[in-house]
Amino acid sequence: MGKDVIIACDFDSKARTLEFLDNFKDKKPFVKIGMELFYSEGPDIVREIKKRGHRIFLDLKLHDIPNTVKKSMAVLSALDVDITNLHAGGAIPMMKAAVEGLTRPDGTRPLLIAVTQLTSTDQQTMENDLLIKEPIDKVVMHYASNAKKAGLDGVVCSPLEAGKVHEICGRDFITVTPGVRFADGDIGDQKRVMTPAQAKEIGSDYIVVGRPITAADNPVEAYERCLKEFID
Ligand code: C5P
């Protein structure tokens, strides 16, 4: 499993995104395209960034009936992204259908990972709004196991959960972890954060880093610092 730093390109336009990526010249960081950019620019933004030589995590978090997810995943697979995702809350039949939809005629497919519980959902919200009374860690690990049973490759989780996910689902089940901050940086609206070095220590496979890189005075330097702390 290749460890890497994925930059969350949370921009609202193609122009701003490409201007940001131009800073990196011939370095080609792995980038995450989320709903904001995808919904404002459409699939062409994926083609454009791919054409420039970047690997892409398309973070659209699908959640619908199995047939709809299967057909949508086939569309995303044709876009040639490297990683995409869905909500494990859609349950095992939906996740299995997603794997089928994503698999190309030659048997290859992008990696597929699941969001377990959003980090914006806490125990109280889960109990009151979703009527789930179990402890949140147990729910997260159960959803990760369901994702594994359905044939997915891993989960998006907090770096604090990555070690336990590997214990339960195996070392090859990948963990993609946002909520990363430099020790001397601003944590912003993230609540539970880790440094790249701590994320490495705990066994995250990919870290997703947005503002510590996108809002830095020197984004290339910030990206390189992440790589150094996380990989070296
Ligand atoms: O700017 P920052 O480093 O906080 O960006 C983190 C990225 O990871 C954002 O794109 C955010 O939407 C995403 N993310 C997250 N927490 C999750 C899932 C995704 O921060 N649980």
User: How confident is the model at residue 187, as a pLDDT?
Assistant: 83
pLDDT recorded at residue 217 = 96
Of the options 3.40.190.170, 3.30.413.10, 3.20.20.70, 3.40.190.10, the CATH number for the domain spanning 4-230: 3.20.20.70
> Which atom number of ligand 1 is nearest to the Cα of residue 10?
10
Instruction: Tell whether ligand 1 has an atom less than 6 A from the beta carbon of residue 103.
Output: no
- Taking CA atoms only, the protein residue closest to ligand 1 atom 2 is 210
pLDDT at residue 1 in the model: 61
Distance 38 CA to ligand 1 centre (A): 15
Half-sphere exposure for 11 (CA within 13 Å, toward CB): 17
pLDDT of residue 232: 86
User: What parts of the chain have a pLDDT lower than 70?
Assistant: 1
Domain boundary assignment for the chain: 4-230
Distance 107 CA to ligand 1 centre (A): 31
Q: Which amino acid belongs to residue 136?
A: I
Does 208 contact ligand 1 (Cβ within 6 A)?
yes
Give the nearest ligand 1 atom to 212 CA: 3
Classify strands 206-209 and 4-8 as parallel, antiparallel or unpaired. Answer: parallel
Question: Which mutation among 10, 37, 86 tests ligand 1's pocket best, with the greatest number of atoms within 8 A of CB?
Answer: 10
